[in-house]
Amino acid sequence: MSRRSLVTGGAGFIGSHIAQALLERGERVRIFDNLSTGRTSNLDALRGDVDVVRADLRDMEAVRDAMNDVDVVFHQAAMASVPESLADPVTTLDVNVGGTQNVLLAARDHGVRRVVFASSCALYGERPELPSYEALLPHPLSPYAVHKLAGEGLCGVFTRAFGLETVALRYFNVFGPRQDPASDYAAAIPKLTMALARGATPVVFGDGEQTRDFVYVENVARANLLAADAAAAVGQVINIGSGESISINEMLRVAADLLGVPLHPEYRDARAGDVRHSRADISRAKVLLGYEPSVGFREGLTRTIESIVAKG
């Protein structure tokens, strides 16, 4: 019988893509999501042996129940917004740190083989060294970044103290279909491309020359599947990005070109907690996981725009 994987936050943007990749490989999937930001519509494309548990990470009994017969946990669930963590650090701490500890405790007690934890490049903060490599001293600029750093620390402790296999993947700026453009805390690509597609004025916080390592979601899902089995990855933190950086202004120019629309952005003051430049050193991912980003930025943006246009 195929193994069962648990995807926390599996109705969300990245989680649903991981679930889809697992199902396409013939595995059984259980999704754990409170649907606070995840959407049932994200699950419409999923075909295969999948069951959905609607519950909250802070509910320890529900987390424990979800671990029955599970081999690998892909822990994606979080309040994953820098501005939201600044606005409500108490709740985001409970979910992002307390919830992660609940997942690790339940996984340990149920004999789960491995937990793959979604961490973030946000913990690097504003550092002059680029590209960012995993041995750099973290310099978090937001509660969210601190929470992800704490999650990595918990993973390391559960591996060293309890023998639970863990891998922490530091995502850079993930984009692709199913990313919500409507939220007040929406990431740059869905929010800005949606504005362009609707003929509205895209609003840029800062001068637009800030750079990001945009990585297409299919690459991230594949990295998670690799991390679930790579022996050398146990106990490691690993950057997952494209290894390239693109400015917000350049991203907008490419999006406007793909859409065939004029570009007249509105610039506003930069937001607190945002970093100026970001780019991943992905050499560790290449060595430990055999990871290579197979979908480049322009192709990924093309697919993303197609999904936005299709939804109207």
Helices 143-162 + 99-109 axis angle, to 10: 20
CA–CA gap between residue 230 and residue 209 (Å, rounded): 37
Which residues pair with residue 115 across a beta bridge?
A: 73, 166
Rounded to the nearest 10°, the torsion over CA 26, 179, 240, 9 is: -60
Catalytic member of 144, 171, 216, 291: 144
96 vs 9, 80, 186, 235, 276, CA distance in Å? Answer: 12, 8, 18, 19, 24
Task: Mark whether 133 is an active-site residue.
Answer: no
Q: Provide CB contacts within 8 A for 102, sequence distance 6+.
A: 57, 58, 60, 63
Whether 20 and 14 have beta carbons less than 8 Å apart is answered as: no
Whether 193 and 251 have beta carbons less than 8 Å apart is answered as: no
Of 118, 119, 117, 114, which Cα lies nearest the Cα of 164? Answer: 114
Whether 200 and 226 have beta carbons less than 8 Å apart is answered as: no
Whether 123 and 151 have beta carbons less than 8 Å apart is answered as: no
CA–CA gap between residue 67 and residue 54 (Å, rounded): 14
Q: Which residues are annotated as catalytic? A: 144
